[in-house]
Chain A
């Protein structure tokens, strides 16, 4: 039962343009949603999060949008830079579950 899904395995974007990564979830009991970035041979690093009571959170070039009615969230990166090339994981946290549930990941490639 895949409760968190990232349906796009990969995304290719030109430097300076916007990158939009998408994530869908099925469990309405999740309290927080997080995005992690992973480079090869490194562990995932926390990027940005959003509470389920918010619809937007912004941190520099990164903005996460949450649409609770559609059970959908997205990560916007503006402007995209070649150093953003990595695997991006969407994750969900439920206080009652006490664990992170991850999506399958999306490989982002930003071309110079």
Chain B
């Protein structure tokens, strides 16, 4: 059974640019959640996708957007990057929303 994978592992972008992060969910999981983990903080919920539709959103601006594909993989898009967007971005997949399995994350640095 393949676990949750994320790409890329690391990314450096310039303020104002756009970025796309990718997540492949665990086999059999139809729900994907995205979290932002700033340095020294716990993960913060960005949004969740269930069967290709957004199914809950945290306190993040609209420049954070996402997609879920028919194979349940997902993308997180961030427009107009700001320095404070520098963080570890975690993807978690689940078949029941409570039991979430996390990927290793993508480390985004905005300069």
Please, what's the 1-or-0 string for A30-51, where 1 marks a CB less than 8 Å from any CB in chain B?
0010101000011111100100
Given the complex, which residues of B lie within 8 Å of A46, measured CB to CB? 99-101
Contact A100 B104 (CB under 8 A): no
Give the contact stretch, choosing among B13-21, B36-44, B70-78, B79-87.
Answer: B36-44
A102 at the interface (CB under 8 A from B): yes
> Are A42's CB and B104's CB within 8 A?
yes
**What 0/1 pattern do residues 50 to 94 of B give for CB contact below 8 A with A?**
000001101000000000000000000000000000000010100
Q: How many B residues have CB within 8 A of the partner chain?
A: 24
Residue of A at shortest CB range from B6?
A43
A42 to B102, CA, bound (A): 9
Question: CB distance A99 to B105 under 8 Å?
Answer: no
Number of A-B residue pairs at CB separation under 8 A = 54
A104→B101 contact, CB < 8 A: no
Q: How far is the CB of A21 from chain B (nearest CB, A)?
A: 13
User: Is A43 a contact of B56 with CB atoms below 8 Å?
Assistant: no
A45 with B48: in contact, given A99-B56, A102-B43 (CB under 8 Å)?
A: no
Most buried by A among B43, B45, B92, B97: B43
Q: A41-B104, A99-B33, A105-B41 are in contact. List 16 more A-B contacts (CB 8 A).
A: A4-B42, A9-B40, A32-B98, A34-B98, A43-B102, A43-B104, A44-B90, A45-B102, A46-B99, A91-B42, A98-B48, A99-B45, A100-B45, A100-B100, A103-B42, A104-B42
